[in-house]
Amino acid sequence: MNLSLSITKNIHDWLFNMMPETLASLVEMTLIALIYLTIFAVIGLFLVLLERKVAAWFQLRIGPNRVGYHGILQTMADALKLVSKELTGTVNADKFLYNLAPYFVIITALMALAVLPFSLEFQAFDINIGIFFLIAISSIGVIGILLAGWSSNNKFALIGAMRSGVQTISYELSVGLSLLTMILITGTLQLSEIVEVQRNGWLIVQGHIPAVFAFMIYMISGTAETNRAPFDLVEAESELGAGFHTEYSGMKFAYFFLAEFVNMFIIASIATTIFFGAWLSPFGITESLPWLGVFWFLGKTLILMFLMMWFRWTFPRLRIDQLLTLEWKYLLPLNLMNIVLMALIVWLNLTIQF
């Protein structure tokens, strides 16, 4: 038995020996929730710093360099500033929905994190409909954005929220269809089984040209679904101020801000899992060192997040008509043809085997 399994088994046995079964289960779930909250905060703070450094690199600037070694503690200082800021809002806002909206965005991001396979053992919730669960959860997050825009009683926030609704609903189709293209190969929705299928080769290689097209469409659509440039019409500063969260301040603003970066991590993590073997090492050494899988998973995900940041600091913002034209006239038809092509490839392989 490897070290990580033995540690978790010892904690499990100790809790169930010390207290009643129901209480021990509650304590276990609380500990897991705290671990994932910590991961959420660390990912958010790190990616904010990375975004600023990458932007500086692309624009030949220095970036954060004052707080800590080479500015490494800058986002910590920013977080402390946001915690200490006063929570303000408009007089005519719908107070209940206004206060509820940030938690929709945070909770959906946390629920999506729970099913991601960081390694063979490091997965909180290995559900047999993992991909379907992720697609369903990602569609709930937009409700928080719509609530935030409408309840703020601000026309710019409302316009930003409506744009987000249109954008998310449109690009979710391409995200779902590109993932469905890969599910045709695996025959399962469970993330752990999808990873097991890739022990003999990543799906982006096994799936031939349709898999490459599916990956490209997924990355474009995923970037649009996270409302990042060049698809950031939801928060178009030159038109809408801060968009749907214009009227938010302090930690409520920080929730929206961190959720954007965590959602970027989730989009990149799903791509890592589906197309690039998740925690599997291309050199086959993850079995002897299971926790090394976490580093492989994070390394692949980091490369894909850098690609999304590259998009942001390279391409100009699209107009709303260009945004919708890209999805409905180009990506969606290409996706449908790609699924048919992948189905033919899978069918021909099965036919040859029989």
The SS3 call for residue 290 is coil
**How crowded is residue 344: how many other Cβ atoms within 10 Å of its Cβ?**
12
Which positions ≥6 away from 331 have C-beta within 8 Å? 171, 174, 217, 220, 221
Is the per-residue pLDDT at 354 higher than 50?
no
Q: In which band, very low, low, confident or very high, does the pLDDT at 26 lie, cut at 50, 70 and 90? A: confident
Please provide the average confidence, as pLDDT, over all residues in the chain.
86
Q: Kindly state whether residues 115 and 168 are assigned to the same domain.
A: yes
pLDDT tens, position by position, 149-193: 999 988 888 888 888 888 888 999 999 999 999 999 998 999 999
Domain extent for 34: 1-84
pLDDT tens, position by position, 313-351: 888 888 888 989 999 999 999 999 999 999 998 888 754
Mark which of 84, 113, 148 sits at the end of a domain.
84
Q: Kindly state whether residues 63 and 104 are assigned to the same domain.
A: no
**How crowded is residue 171: how many other Cβ atoms within 10 Å of its Cβ?**
26
Give which of 273, 282, 293 is closest to 192, Cα–Cα: 273
Contact between residue 151 and residue 98 where contact means Cβ atoms under 8 Å apart:
yes
Q: Kindly state whether residues 78 and 134 are assigned to the same domain.
A: no
Q: Kindly state whether residues 202 and 275 are assigned to the same domain.
A: yes
Q: Kindly state whether residues 273 and 130 are assigned to the same domain.
A: yes
Q: Kindly state whether residues 20 and 105 are assigned to the same domain.
A: no
Q: Kindly state whether residues 186 and 172 are assigned to the same domain.
A: yes
Q: Kindly state whether residues 192 and 318 are assigned to the same domain.
A: yes
Which positions ≥6 away from 105 have C-beta within 8 Å? 141, 144, 145, 255, 256, 259
Residue 1 confidence (pLDDT):
46
Residue 268 confidence (pLDDT):
95
Instruction: State if pTM tops 0.85.
Output: yes
How many domains are contained in the chain? 2
Q: Kindly state whether residues 92 and 73 are assigned to the same domain.
A: no
CA 148 to chain centre: 20
Secondary element (H or E) of residue 242:
none
Q: Kindly state whether residues 90 and 232 are assigned to the same domain.
A: yes
Q: Kindly state whether residues 131 and 70 are assigned to the same domain.
A: no
